[in-house]
């Protein structure tokens, strides 16, 4: 249970702060996370501790990553009764080394985005992510999926739709493929603007991202696969033939049963992996 309430903190636009206050929504989020004692849970951007309180009450300990230094004394006062069981990391989550949280348990050269099927499953990550950095932050976190059991995030609804989008839909694109390469994605529920203070100008949603224990499709060269996907969606309205010009020719695509005249959103994650693996073996 949180201690006394410190002086009210003014939300800062530059940090993209929108503090969740709807207790019904908060309880629904925690019910979806289902935190348990002894689990290693990390909260990104705890803000005023709306979710933090529930996580600590269940697990008894928590790591939080917070960039706004003015919130640090607020958190220390509000949760003083937990002492060292609340570890506060003053850091930018975009730059934070999440591997450092379990450095005692893993070697420094443990694999990340190498296509490895190794999964330690040591961290559960939660966060009401600032919408202005949500996409680059997700890409950053995808480099730690070998260490992560699951991730539950509050995001702009549009981003959640892109993460969970199916092949051939308007929302399906680079973010969909890169996230779905590593994770099973579940769009859990929507959150209205009035659940926040201040109210954001967009709708929000909760997403669950659960890294695979074994990748369904493994790219032989992850960097090549990543660049291929980026090139494939360079211009969404153009065909694969045009977007992959100089990278893959018609004969190579057709050898995989892929029509060069279709648009990139028609390809599955497995299709992009297959193209990348073929090009590694037989460059265009």
Q: What is the pLDDT of residues 12-47, one digit of tens each?
A: 444 445 778 899 999 999 999 999 998 999 999 998
Under the banding of pLDDT at 50, 70 and 90, the label for residue 110 is very low
Name 13's Cβ contacts closer than 8 Å, sequence gap at least 6: none
User: For 154-197, how does the pLDDT look when each residue is reduced to its tens digit (9 = 90+)?
Assistant: 999 999 999 999 999 999 999 999 999 999 999 999 999 999 87
Domains of the chain (ranges; CATH) run 13-211 (3.40.50.150), 222-281 (1.10.8.100)
Residue with tokens 């890294």: 211
User: For 46-89, how does the pLDDT look when each residue is reduced to its tens digit (9 = 90+)?
Assistant: 988 999 999 999 999 999 999 888 889 989 999 999 999 999 99
Under the banding of pLDDT at 50, 70 and 90, the label for residue 1 is very low
Under the banding of pLDDT at 50, 70 and 90, the label for residue 6 is very low
The continuous run of DSSP H or E covering 228 comes out as helix 222-232
- The CA distance from 69 to 209, in Å, is 28
Residue 214 to residues 128, 135, 157, 210: CA-CA distances in angstroms? 28, 24, 28, 12
Q: What proportion of the chain, given as a percentage, has pLDDT over 70?
A: 87
- The CA distance from 133 to 127, in Å, is 12
């Amino acid at each position: 249970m949180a201690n006394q309430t410190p002086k009210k903190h003014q939300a800062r636009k530059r940090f993209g702060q929108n503090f969740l206050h709807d207790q019904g929504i908060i309880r629904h989020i925690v019910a979806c996370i289902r935190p348990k004692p002894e689990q290693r849970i990390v909260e990104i951007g705890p803000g005023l501790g709306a979710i933090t309180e529930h996580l600590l009450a269940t697990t008894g300990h928590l790591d939080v990553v917070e960039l706004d230094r003015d919130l640090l004394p607020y958190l220390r006062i509000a949760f003083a009764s937990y002492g060292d069981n609340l570890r506060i990391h003053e850091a930018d989550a975009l730059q934070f080394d999440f591997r450092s949280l379990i450095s005692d348990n893993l070697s420094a050269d443990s694999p990340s985005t190498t296509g490895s099927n190794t999964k330690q499953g040591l961290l559960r990550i939660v966060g009401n992510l600032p919408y202005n950095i949500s996409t680059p932050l997700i890409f950053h976190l995808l480099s730690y999926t070998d260490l992560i059991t699951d991730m539950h995030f509050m995001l702009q609804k549009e981003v959640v739709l892109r993460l969970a989008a199916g092949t051939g839909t308007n929302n399906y694109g680079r973010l969909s493929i890169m996230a779905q390469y590593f994770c099973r994605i579940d769009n859990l529920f929507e959150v209205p603007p009035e659940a926040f203070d201040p109210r954001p100008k967009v709708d929000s949603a909760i997403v669950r991202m659960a890294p695979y224990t074994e990748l369904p499709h493994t790219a032989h060269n992850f960097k090549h696969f990543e660049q291929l996907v980026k090139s494939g969606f360079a211009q969404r309205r153009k065909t694969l033939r045009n977007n992959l010009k100089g990278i893959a020719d018609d004969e190579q695509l057709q050898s995989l049963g892929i029509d060069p005249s279709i648009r990139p959103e028609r390809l599955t994650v497995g299709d992009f992996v297959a193209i990348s693996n073929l090009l590694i073996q037989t460059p265009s």
